[in-house]
Amino acid sequence: KYTYDREDLANRLSDGCIIGHTTPHSSKIWVRVAVEGIYSLIVSRQRIRVAPDEIGDQPIDWYLPTIGIFNPILEHHHFTSATDKTHVFTITGLEPNTVYHYAVVAAPEVTIYRRWRLGFEQKHCFKTPPLPYEHSHVNFGFFSCHDPFKKGNSGIDLWDDFFDILNEYQAS
């Protein structure tokens, strides 16, 4: 059995999205990528269906119309290790009560085995709330009891700490 003793050797989340605060007209989308570089977040009313290798070296704004994606919201960001290769996109101009599909694609110059990072294998979507919209305050916590570096409590002892933190921030 191998025991990790260095944090940089552990497996980490490579690519992922979390849909955050969403109103009838906007949404915040947190993105993490595996490799530094420029990536595009595509948000569209049309379902995004692609063969991930088909894009080749084409710029994303040229490629999307060839697969039937017209007038998407297209945001770009240069991800770096300084922010753990994460970024929160604020998407505006959305319509109420509407399903939006999203995907993340690396720029042609990013050295990575597949440019399509998210949104091609599985349906990635969210829905804006309808009008009239009543904002409600929601706090939530995301925790894991996985502690491969034995830096603190482990296993069952962590749940009491998690509970205290959630109460401190009035999460429910």
Peptide bond just before 72 cis, omega within 30 deg: no
> How does the average pLDDT of the chain come out, rounded?
82
Reported confidence tier of residue 171, pLDDT bands at 50, 70, 90:
low
Per-residue model confidence (pLDDT) at position 148: 47
Sorting pLDDT into bands at 50, 70 and 90, what band is 163?
confident
> Average pLDDT for residues 99-107, to the nearest whole number?
95
pLDDT at 165: 74
Mean pLDDT, residues 77-102 taken together: 96
The predicted model gives 40-64 an average pLDDT of: 90
Q: What is the pLDDT of residues 108-146, one digit of tens each?
A: 999 988 899 988 877 889 999 998 887 766 655 555 555
Q: Check if the beta carbon of residue 162 is closer than 8 Å to that of residue 152.
A: no
Question: Residue 6 has what pLDDT?
Answer: 47
Residue 22: left if φ>0, alpha if ψ -120 to 50, beta else—which one? beta
In this model, does residue 160 exceed pLDDT 80?
no
More confident residue, 85 or 165: 85
The distance in angstroms from the start CA to the end CA of the chain is: 39
For the segment 9-49, what is each residue's pLDDT rounded down to a tens digit? Answer: 445 568 989 999 899 999 999 999 999 999 999 999 999 88
CA angle 99, 103, 104 (to 5 degrees): 150
